Amino acid sequence: MKSTHIEHIGIAVANLDDAIRYWENVMGLKCYAIEEVADQKVKTAFFQVGDVKIELLESTDPEGPIGKFVEKKGSGVHHIAFAVENVDRALQEAAEKGVQLIDQKSRKGAEGLNIGFLHPKSTLGVLTEFCSK
């Protein structure tokens, strides 16, 4: 498995509108897409910074993964997404190296990407996402 670049950085927020305002007014970026991902119980907002995207995540359900994260830790960096050629193969290779997976197989994420997560217990505390087109 070799990642070609960081695709996006996922940031959990308590309130998407407030967060968009911050990223637009203070960081001078333009939100180019807002998308709800029902599967993950989140509403996302995207910004492009050079080759990397910022993905803001607001929970649509307190019991969802982002809802629990914000409840425990507050807003903040949630995950880093690495672009790989094939998510299923990258997950399998990580598992063969003893890494605990959250997703055994890829699934559809925001922007129609194939995504899969590694467990932060196995990645030195960094919730790691693989993604591919």
Binding footprint of Zn ion on the chain (CB under 5 A): 10, 55, 81, 129
Closest residue to Zn ion: CB criterion? 10
Nearer to Zn ion among residue 25 and residue 46 (C-beta): 46
Nearer to Zn ion among residue 15 and residue 56 (C-beta): 56
In whole angstroms, the minimum distance from the beta carbon of 7 to Zn ion comes to 8
Cα separation of 105 and 35, whole Å?
A: 22
Contact (Cβ atoms closer than 8 angstroms) between residue 64 and residue 72: no
In whole angstroms, the minimum distance from the beta carbon of 27 to Zn ion comes to 18
- Per-residue burial over 67-81, b if 16 or more Cβ lie within 10 Å, else e, is bebbeeeebeebbbb
Nearer to Zn ion among residue 77 and residue 96 (C-beta): 77
Q: Exposed, middle or buried: residue 66 (CB in 10 Å: 0-12, 13-18, 19+)?
A: buried
* 96: DSSP letter: H
In whole angstroms, the minimum distance from the beta carbon of 116 to Zn ion comes to 11
Nearer to Zn ion among residue 81 and residue 94 (C-beta): 81
In whole angstroms, the minimum distance from the beta carbon of 126 to Zn ion comes to 13
Cα separation of 113 and 105, whole Å?
A: 13
